[in-house]
Amino acid sequence: MSASIRVRHLPEYARLAKLLFVNRAVISQAASGDTPLRGEQERAQRRAEGEHLVRSLEEMGPTYIKLGQLLSSRVDLFPPEYLSALSSLQDHATPIGVEVVRSVIEEELGTKVSRLFTDFDERPLGAASLAQVHRAVLRDGRQVALKVQRPGVRQQVADDLEVIGELATAFDEHVGVAERAGLALMVDEFARAVRAELDYTGEAANLRMLASMLENYPRLRVPAPVDDLTTTRLLTMELVEGRSLATIGPLGLLELDGAPLADQLFKAFLDQLLIHGVLHADPHPGNVLVTTEGDLALVDVGMTTWITPELQDALLRLLLALGTTNAAEAASALERCGEPLDGFDRDLLGRQVAGFVLQTSGARLSELQTGRQLGELARLAVSSGLRPAPQLTMVGKALVNLDGVARRLAPSYEPASAIREHASVLMRHSMERSATPSSLIGAMLDAKEFAEHLPRRMNKVLDALAEGSVQLRVEGFDESALMRSIQKLANRAAAGLAVAAFVLAAAIFSISAGGPRWLGESAFSIVLLALALVLGVAIVWSTLRSDLPQRRARRRST
């Protein structure tokens, strides 16, 4: 970073230095790791320190509020008292003047507000640190909500993110636990999500995308955007009549049909995350509306990120392993979700995960919080030398928020049970994702390359053997037996490739709408699967016939 930029950031450095100094106890705790408490007095002191940190972040502005909300899921960095305080962070702000709002709308759309709308409500529906929302009526009679970005907030957030990124890099270089946790990578992922949230054309695209993903969930909806009246700083969307879930009291919640709503919301989130690879990272109660019809509407979907197919598969394995208390599979899946550092101790990770799974296996399903579980597993990963993927932090944050929404709707809701019930759907889609035409073509090309190069490579090996340029320590070397073994291996490899090709082709035909059908399934799929089964049984039978007698003979000879 250049000296001019550093000079420009001097005021931000001063504010951040003050934040760190007045909350040095929290920062020191995060750097050194959680330490046992010796009494209620120390616990109360930590709660007070956490509440002071929350007030400090609220004073620092929108970027730090969102960063605090993200950190509320980092059980690997903060003890429970701090996390509880951070989870209470709310993004409320003093409304900006209506004339400022009008000027932003007119600047973005190039015409007067009075020409665009037959009615414009000057009282905001809500005001946050990044934007505020107003009700309006279009010329065609449709009621809409206008999300108007605050002037100057984009540059403020950009400056904040730059300074926070510098601090995270410094922590990675000088604080061991930050480097192991990948703090700089986590902040970078957070910065990308916040920058995307400030582009309302991207949020409009997210609304359309999520609407298509919720087609199978009739009690969930998102407002439809009005594209002609949407820009990077102004989002015009359908007005959804309802109340924020965060504002509904206990008696109001009793009137809701909470369990089915929580079930649809949780399963829809799993679909988005593990099937489509899309993460809506901010589904907290304030962003969930209970409509007048008693359904749920998701609003403020700007903070959305993508999950790689590899991380999708690893997360699916991890969630299923947690749901079935399979410690070995959970440790293996967790390793897939991270990057091993120098000194990574796989055995230590396995023992820690086994202890954690054993500890949670005795809890009631309704007491388990999936987001907290992921956070605790991230802490165990860091302590064993495994750096969690940066997206895992966003997933943990989203699941912590989603757990809160689900329990608010239905206190006895069991996310772990929902994951098990939904596992077959998730696995089927995972298989279909692997059986795409491009994947099949790739497998066929690999098989073609293998078949083309195998004879030449075998000739090189045999030539080297004939010329004596390869040294082999073999007792009782039988060249004819070697050739028979090589031929047998090649035959089995070719048969295995054929089985894989049949299965992949069957999967593709199963999702195709064309062709003849038998019992509701594609006839081609049934035939191909039958061929694969016959060939697979033949391979197993051949292996048993030839290998087992040889093993018995070797045992008798020894």
- What CA–CA distance (Å, rounded) separates 403 from 371? 7
Q: Are strands 234-238 and 278-280 parallel, antiparallel or unpaired?
A: unpaired
For residues 1 and 84, the model is more confident at 84
Q: Annotated catalytic residue: which of 282, 295, 300, 403?
A: 282
Q: 152-186 in b/e burial notation, b at 16+ Cβ within 10 A?
A: ebbebbebbbbbbbbbbbebbeebebbbbbbbbbb
Q: Which of 9-18, 73-82, 169-178 has the lowest mean pLDDT?
A: 169-178
Report the pLDDT averaged over residues 433-445. Answer: 56
For residue 445, what pLDDT band results from cuts at 50, 70 and 90?
low
- Which of 312-321, 328-337, 370-379, 442-451 tops mean pLDDT? 328-337
**Res 1 pLDDT > 50:** no
Residue spans of alpha helices (H) in 340-411: 346-361, 370-383, 390-409
Report the pLDDT averaged over residues 323-342. Answer: 88
pLDDT tens string 126-136? 888 889 999 99
Q: Is 282 a catalytic residue?
A: yes
**Res 91 pLDDT > 60:** yes
Mean pLDDT of the chain, nearest integer: 78
- What CA–CA distance (Å, rounded) separates 101 from 108? 11
pLDDT tens string 171-203? 777 666 566 666 777 788 788 888 888 999 999
Helix (H, G, I), strand (E, B) or coil at 147: strand
Q: Which of 3-7, 19-23, 248-252 has the lowest mean pLDDT?
A: 3-7
Quote the tokens at residue 516: 């003849």
For residue 209, what pLDDT band results from cuts at 50, 70 and 90?
very high
Helix (H, G, I), strand (E, B) or coil at 112: coil
% of the chain exceeding 90 in pLDDT? 23
CB atoms under 10 Å from CB of 5, counted, come to 11
Is residue 192 within 8 A of residue 397, CB to CB? The reply is no
pLDDT tens string 339-381? 898 889 999 999 999 998 888 775 554 555 777 788 788 888 8
CB atoms under 10 Å from CB of 314, counted, come to 21
pLDDT tens string 37-69? 556 777 888 888 888 888 888 888 888 888 887
Enter the pTM of the model. 0.67
Report the pLDDT averaged over residues 302-318. Answer: 85
Spatial CA neighbour of 69 closest among 292, 300, 271: 300
